[in-house]
Structure 1
């Protein structure tokens, strides 16, 4: 006799709780990695945790198949399982995470195109976190007007590590001074209290105490960054501006390792600090990438349905040779579909492109690569596509797009936050803003290189500018590892024919890179190119790349903090 709906629902609940426990086990290692400065193991933990979700889903599917046997795709049975499952989780803070896990299972069993509300949890008309009223666990401190240093010394003492502070009182004094300076515009004695989450957030080489500072009538985010290097454990900076905290929690970086007992209450708290950050991005940066995808789908389609007369159109920018990119003009996302064929000189396959995007998903994106989420079996009304876009998708993306009645079904697409393409941005800005953007473009290439990432195609059109003015790379089809490249001097011509040749007259192998030739194809105007050369001239010297390669090959990754040196504490 096959298993009953209540028993199957309990198996799914237990499977998610097993995933949650294993997720927490990996996350909890972050403290030890930080204390021992084991950055290589921390990177391995990040990759292991990302892979864990699909691993646990696959394990659960095998268990359900053994129990269901020939009823694995019995729609009526799954309707009953859904009802039983909803009752099991209705009082949980993190019930949305449980629902997403359940939806993943049904979609893999039924290969659903679009959504099936009879067997899936769908809530396009509400914001589920609005129902969470449980306060997240936190420390609260009254800040003495006369003895603020003592308060912050106590704050640091409450967050214990198995390595001592190099000088806790000096750190406390530096934090107090920075907060007094940052909040001076609040008036005399601006700082009344501080609240910090119990959970320490870890990422890359830093530990973060996350919370807010409160004055008499206002509050501001407060993030204290701690480092543990050859100088010992110490406070490195304090972030109070929302723009800086939003960048720290941005999707162009790897996910935090924060051992939160429950997630939904932490998301609600973080939204008070960053009210303009989409909820999907908050879930994602906490390592709950699948929930981030669910929330992104929910919020986009709610907006999509609320604007029934707006069409999907080609995204602004130079058309790509590998991807067709479209957007809904009123919503800040782009959808990227792989073309069936790539124009010369692109030599990669469709599988190669998918592998590149998968690789970026697992990388420390160092603040310079957009997080990209892959979606399968999305269903859109055919009439919502502009005629030009619809024609191109059906002609050039037939491996990804099919027609079903009045709908287009997209088998695979990649979704990113929409940025202004750098080549367009530079044309639109006044001279000084364009110069600063060009310099940050150079810094982006340098930052990526320090994390063993070579963009491959460094044309301006492949970079965008975020709302905070940062250059971010978003086109990954030619991305590769620095350690896989062969950085070479460009041979000197020995004859007039060689000097005038349009193509290299010498052997060029896959992976060969000639840094001195970068300026010829970047496409920067003369003034911006000169500024880039003055500040980032190292990028055009083969010696710089070869020296960096040597460091990366022995695991010596340069530190790339998510804030400028000017913000570090004295």
Structure 2
């Protein structure tokens, strides 16, 4: 190894990272103009472009290094590269992201093998996120008080966050906010000139909305708030509602939604502030939510491995009906499932291993509409063998032997996805029926139908719509999580089942009509609800239109014409009155 090789590689990695951050910011900063122009398809395009950007830059830098260095597998080289790189990033205000980018380059060159802290950043040198009071927090948020009263504050807030198009009706929006505040907060808080409001400088953009995010400090408490801003598509914007309940705020930042487009200069400070607003969200989830999904993966890995060291329970087969494409296991003490592609699929599944991977990448890039769980992909993940139950090891060797290496002390899983653990909808419904909780069944079936419809509005057809492929979150929302049959709605051919020509055809084992690969017969969805009359009654009452091919064809037409349907991350009942709209 030449003494200068390590420095050259370090510089190539840092140059690549700098280029990535520059492009990431440039893409993100286009969101404001797209929102103001009501160009919703462009915003979705920006989201996908930003996700693709990371892998493109990593591949480019990997090729540069391979071309410049004769032996990229030299351990002595990489020990030197890491030392040089540390000296280069020590002054950066995005050092944690630069470490993760380095790790991505290293893993791409080593095939995710030889993972050691000596050669890469298994443990971050940036340490824990710094405390906010030790930082120049003025870079993150504006600070307001109520010294001049509530109305002047709200007026100033809307002025400070104005867009290139005007507020549709500023006075009405202020009036709506006043009503909300007076109902939600005690009178002495509203009138206290010691109350402090901190609002993040950057506006959060996603789909058809912009979000103003902050918190209110009063009486030794801090309450988060979000003000969703919508474009009326006639040259004006308006405050749609206010959210101050921590659960409502958490849902806006849900793992089931597309990443925000938000301008972030100092990521660690930004994440610390967000975490103070939503402490129930992990640091990993928050990095994911603002588009740094690789950093989210790194934070998840560190948090998970720390959890492994501090606990003793064993990995086990995840509860629920076994899948025909994936085998799924979990650690009871950690809210995540691990999904591995099986070696052989059930004969009913016409898909390949590469096809499954492509489906998961589709979900990563697509608008998840609040109804699809985000995933993280891992290669050659090493876990302690002693933490695997014998039943699970037997299952893995039987159905996914090509993806698992079982050693004396460790189990290496060559490829898997992690996903938030939820209660499978079929199990949830069975439990509620057993308890005679008809209200819970009604709400879950309503959520199921809304999930299917909102996915369709986002140009997604779930494919296999059995209840076992959907989960119930801690907020009671129903989310789709089994992606091996997912496809674009516009690729489907929705048909009615032809009438049989004579009775014997209907009794035959095979269909009496021709069926092409993309043919979908919504009438067959009744099989979902055939199990229980109460479920069938609720489904037919709430979402019986899903059994009609015409509903699906009409949705296809809307999607094909470029319509982006309004999907709110909050209940429509929470929306403010807009009468009069101007």
**Corresponding residue number in structure 1 for 2:425:** 422
User: Could you say if the C-alpha distance between residues 379 and 558 of structure 1 is closer, same or farther in structure 2, counting changes exceeding 3 Å?
Assistant: same
Q: Structure 1: how far apart are the matches of 2:490 and 2:188? A: 50
**Corresponding residue number in structure 2 for 1:498:** 505
Partner SS for 2:180: helix
Question: Which residue of 249, 256, 268 maps to 1:252?
Answer: 256
Give 1:553 shift.
0.7
**Corresponding residue number in structure 1 for 2:580:** none
User: Could you say if the C-alpha distance between residues 447 and 6 of structure 1 is closer, same or farther in structure 2, counting changes exceeding 3 Å?
Assistant: same
2:331 is equivalent to residue 302 of structure 1: no
**Corresponding residue number in structure 2 for 1:270:** 274
Residues 125 and 302, structure 1, Cα contact 8 Å, conserved in 2:
no
Q: Structure 1: how far apart are the matches of 2:169 and 2:575? A: 16
**Corresponding residue number in structure 1 for 2:96:** 96
Residues 5-64 of structure 1: CA distance to partner in whole angstroms, max 9, x if unpaired?
Answer: 334323322221111010000000000110111111111111110011111111211222
Partner SS for 2:4: coil
**Corresponding residue number in structure 2 for 1:156:** 158
**Corresponding residue number in structure 2 for 1:535:** 542
**Corresponding residue number in structure 1 for 2:117:** 117
**Corresponding residue number in structure 2 for 1:360:** 363
**Corresponding residue number in structure 2 for 1:544:** 551
Residues 98-130 of structure 1: CA distance to partner in whole angstroms, max 9, x if unpaired?
Answer: 110111111222224373111011228996324
**Corresponding residue number in structure 2 for 1:30:** 31
Residues 124 and 302, structure 1, Cα contact 8 Å, conserved in 2:
no
Residues 216-256 of structure 1: CA distance to partner in whole angstroms, max 9, x if unpaired?
Answer: 33121111110012353111111101101111101100000
Give 1:523 shift.
5.2
Give 1:336 shift.
0.3
Q: Structure 2: how far apart are the matches of 1:524 and 1:478? A: 23
**Corresponding residue number in structure 2 for 1:433:** 440
Residues 379 and 409, structure 1, Cα contact 8 Å, conserved in 2:
yes
> Could you list the runs of 5+ residues in structure 1 that have no partner in the other structure?
none
User: Could you say if the C-alpha distance between residues 107 and 405 of structure 1 is closer, same or farther in structure 2, counting changes exceeding 3 Å?
Assistant: farther
Q: Structure 1: how far apart are the matches of 2:161 and 2:42? A: 23
Q: Structure 2: how far apart are the matches of 1:65 and 1:404? A: 32
Q: Structure 2: how far apart are the matches of 1:220 and 1:431? A: 35
Question: Which residue of 322, 330, 333 maps to 1:330?
Answer: 333
Residues 54-95 of structure 1: CA distance to partner in whole angstroms, max 9, x if unpaired?
Answer: 111112112222332x23121112112111211222243321
**48-57 or 59-68: bigger deviation:** 59-68
Give 1:564 shift.
1.5
Residues 200 and 208, structure 1, Cα contact 8 Å, conserved in 2:
yes
Output aligned runs, 1:152-551, within 5 Å: 152-184=154-186, 189=191, 192-230=195-233, 232-307=236-311, 309-429=312-432, 430-522=437-529, 525-551=532-558
2:41 is equivalent to residue 40 of structure 1: yes
**28-37 or 506-515: bigger deviation:** 506-515
Q: Structure 2: how far apart are the matches of 1:188 and 1:558? A: 37
User: Could you say if the C-alpha distance between residues 218 and 339 of structure 1 is closer, same or farther in structure 2, counting changes exceeding 3 Å?
Assistant: same
User: Could you say if the C-alpha distance between residues 125 and 230 of structure 1 is closer, same or farther in structure 2, counting changes exceeding 3 Å?
Assistant: closer
User: Could you say if the C-alpha distance between residues 335 and 166 of structure 1 is closer, same or farther in structure 2, counting changes exceeding 3 Å?
Assistant: same
Q: Structure 2: how far apart are the matches of 1:124 and 1:77? A: 20
Q: Structure 2: how far apart are the matches of 1:243 and 1:167? A: 29
Q: Structure 2: how far apart are the matches of 1:329 and 1:96? A: 30
CA RMSD of aligned residues (A): 2.0
